[in-house]
Amino acid sequence: MPHTPEPDEDDLDAIAPPQPVFHVEQALLGALLLDPHRLDDVNGITADSFSTAAHAALYAAISTLPQPDPAEHAKNTKWLDRVLAAGREQARGLTATYLHALVQVCPWPSHAPAYARMVEAEHARRRLLTAAERLIHTVLDASLPLPVQTVLAEADALAAVVDDIANRFPPRSGVLPRTPATPPAAPDHTEAVEEEQLLLATATASPDDIDAVRWLAPDDLTLPLHAGLWQCLTTLARRGEPVDPVTILWEAQQRGLLDGGSEPGEVLRMLAEPAGSVGHWAERALQRSLLATAEHTGRRIGTYAGDPANTPFQLVVGARRALADIAAVRTRWQNATGTTPPQQRRPAPAIRAGPPTTTAAHAARSTRATR
């Protein structure tokens, strides 16, 4: 969800605004206060697009009040007084002095569409960052009764934000975010290790059940040794060769899995203690992999969106690549559980860059006002 500051938030006297968009918003509002008719050339933004309560309140007032007659507006401040009164209903700290300052800091009122496009771009970045943070929070919420379904719904919400940004800022081919991807967070593997050991031991005792869990990939397991042993198991079963702790240990040696210091005796003991069913433990491992992938995707997209230097075009490309990781695990999860939901219709991704939404041509206007 986009950040909505409190109505009485005191943001007018900021000595050093943290982001350049603050100045952009001031320039846009100054242009609209000076020449209200320029609102006709501004698209793609709403009051929620602004970063402060005062600016949001002013834009809401400007965009809802009837535009004044240009000649009258040049002679008096009646319309500005109405804007100030309407804005104060949402941001009590607004003053006539601040409106005057906005007009003074606007370098070129005819550039209002360009300023609006910048505000739209920054709002898109904030929306993406918020959606990514919500996904991470959902993954980490241990109280959820249906964690996978809830996390996938949040991933869909994040994807919808990406699609909306793509419609507003069609991505350019091959333009990747400049920010390095964030490495995965280090989770607590205690429960995972125990369950994966049970998976390996149970599959060793019942190799005929391995074929039913082909949707489980080695990378779904948390430890490299476990992933390697699962590869040994599936390889032996696929070849139709004998499967038991000794044959798996030998296969593991051939693959160099014991080079990391694993003791052969420990591997044999681990593989000799089956419990439960292969399907149960495999599904648990896949669920853990899906949640870990969703968390890493959220952190990756959050890192992209947290860098103001990345353009909306770059954010769309990077976010879609990251979301593809969730889609891959999601497909396997649906195959494992037989819970394939009806596909939601999403807008087709834009391929070629179109005209900026804030500078659409107005056929009815034969000429444009200049400064």
> Do residues 291 and 147 lie in contact, with contact meaning Cβ atoms separated by under 8 Å?
yes
Model pLDDT, residue 76: 87
Q: What is the mean pLDDT of residues 205-230?
A: 94
pLDDT(365) > 60: no
Alpha carbon dihedral 289, 295, 296, 301, in 10-degree steps, equals 140
Query: Quick one: pLDDT band at residue 318, thresholds 50, 70, 90?
Result: very high
Query: Quick one: pLDDT band at residue 176, thresholds 50, 70, 90?
Result: confident
Helical H segments across 169-276, by residue range: 190-205, 224-239, 245-254, 264-271
Model pLDDT, residue 364: 37
- For residue 1, give the DSSP letter: -
- The C-alpha atoms of residue 191 and residue 144 are separated, in whole angstroms, by 18
* Most distant pair of Cα atoms in the chain: their distance: 95
Query: Quick one: pLDDT band at residue 70, thresholds 50, 70, 90?
Result: confident
Q: What is the mean pLDDT of residues 297-308?
A: 94
Average pLDDT of the chain, as a whole number:
86
- The C-alpha atoms of residue 365 and residue 371 are separated, in whole angstroms, by 17
Could you tell me the domains of the chain? 21-107 (no CATH), 121-360 (1.10.860.10)
SS3 273: coil
Residues 6+ apart with CB under 8 A from 367: none
Closest CA to 349 of 109, 204, 164: 164
* Type of residue numbered 165: I
Per-residue pLDDT tens over the stretch 329-360: 999 999 999 876 545 545 544 444 444 444 33
C-alpha distance from residue 352 to each of 71, 162, 321, 367 (Å) = 42, 16, 18, 29
- The C-alpha atoms of residue 313 and residue 319 are separated, in whole angstroms, by 10
C-alpha distance from residue 306 to each of 21, 112, 311, 313 (Å) = 14, 26, 11, 15
> Do residues 162 and 323 lie in contact, with contact meaning Cβ atoms separated by under 8 Å?
yes
Residues 6+ apart with CB under 8 A from 153: none
Query: Quick one: pLDDT band at residue 371, thresholds 50, 70, 90?
Result: very low
Per-residue pLDDT tens over the stretch 146-168: 999 999 999 999 999 999 999 99
Q: Which two tokens stand for residue 113?
A: 């569409």
Q: What is the mean pLDDT of residues 219-237?
A: 95
Per-residue pLDDT tens over the stretch 120-136: 999 999 999 999 999 99
- For residue 199, give the DSSP letter: H
